[in-house]
Amino acid sequence: MQNSDASHRQPAPRVTDAAELRSVARELRRQVIRLVRPTGQGYVQQGLGAADLFAALYFGEMRLDPSDPSWADRDRFLLSTAHNTAIFHATLAARGCIASDTLFSYCKDGSPLEINASERLGPVIEATCGSLGQGLSVGVGMALAARRTGRDFRSYVVLGDGEMQEGQVWEAAMAAGSYGLGNLCLIIDFNEMQVEGHIDQVLKMNPVAEKWESFGFRCETIDGHDFDQIFAALKRSREAVDRPSCIIAKTVPGKGAPSLEGIFGHNIKLPGETAERALQELDAGEFA
């Protein structure tokens, strides 16, 4: 194992307090609405639903240095659902990985803040995963690279539940299990939603956990809005050193804004009055 300067490269204490993280996630949700509001249409439901996962990963779990995105010992993050950029870019800005004032250019012509997360934004984006189903393959490669170069960074992959319909996902899963990649953590954003509506309208997913276990993963299902459950699952993932982990995080599309919660809108219409109502609900609401 190569020497690592990880101990002094984490620039701020990791946040594990649930109340503080709920506050972080609420602001991320507000930012999702603000980013999408000018276009009137975008990936709002996924962003609101995944905000707690992003808050936990970027503020509490992953080892990173916002001032040095190319730091060799950083943990790697792959957003396989690469269109879910409102929450991703909002999180990068909140964590100090990109300048907050760049957010105003989100989805504008020529902006590096594209609707699909792109390496044009710089090294904060580990890989461009615009075609669904590719992120786990990249994460497997990075986890293998860490092992072969003697580094102790971990690879985190966020995969959409609908992406499990892609064959490449299962090729990557077979490789990860075969290689026993204990430094790979897969998180499935299980909101049961894809373009056509509910995932079962396209291909039935269940039993999901058993599928991943059969490929050699340590797997568990959690409430993706409960920070205690999220961090407990991430801790167990780190402890499973001989095999990759899969965390099936059940999330609610539109979480936090009651007028949007549970609506299956893959690319939702967001007129100004709808956005304003959602912001008011986020300001007023208390949710787990």
In sequence order, the 6+-apart residues with CB closer than 8 A to the CB of 189 are: 46, 49, 50, 53, 81, 84, 158, 159, 160, 161, 224, 249, 251
Per-residue tokens: 41: 């249409």
**Could you say which of 3.40.1050.10, 3.40.50.970, 1.10.287.950, 3.30.360.10 is the CATH number of the domain covering 18-284?**
3.40.50.970
Per-residue tokens: 262: 């549970």
pLDDT of residue 211: 97
What does pLDDT average to over the chain? 91
Q: Cis link prior to 66 (omega < 30° from 0)?
A: no
In sequence order, the 6+-apart residues with CB closer than 8 A to the CB of 96 are: 66, 67
Least confident of 158-167, 194-203, 207-216, 222-231: 194-203
pLDDT of residue 12: 59
Measure the CA–CA gap between 161 and 41, rounded to whole angstroms. 22
pLDDT of residue 11: 54
Confidence class of residue 271 from pLDDT cuts 50, 70 and 90? confident
What SS3 state is found at 220?
strand
pTM of structure: 0.93
What SS3 state is found at 187?
strand
The beta-carbon contacts of 272-277 under 8 Å, at least 24 apart in sequence, are: 272/37, 272/40, 275/33, 275/34, 275/36, 275/37
Measure the CA–CA gap between 276 and 44, rounded to whole angstroms. 13
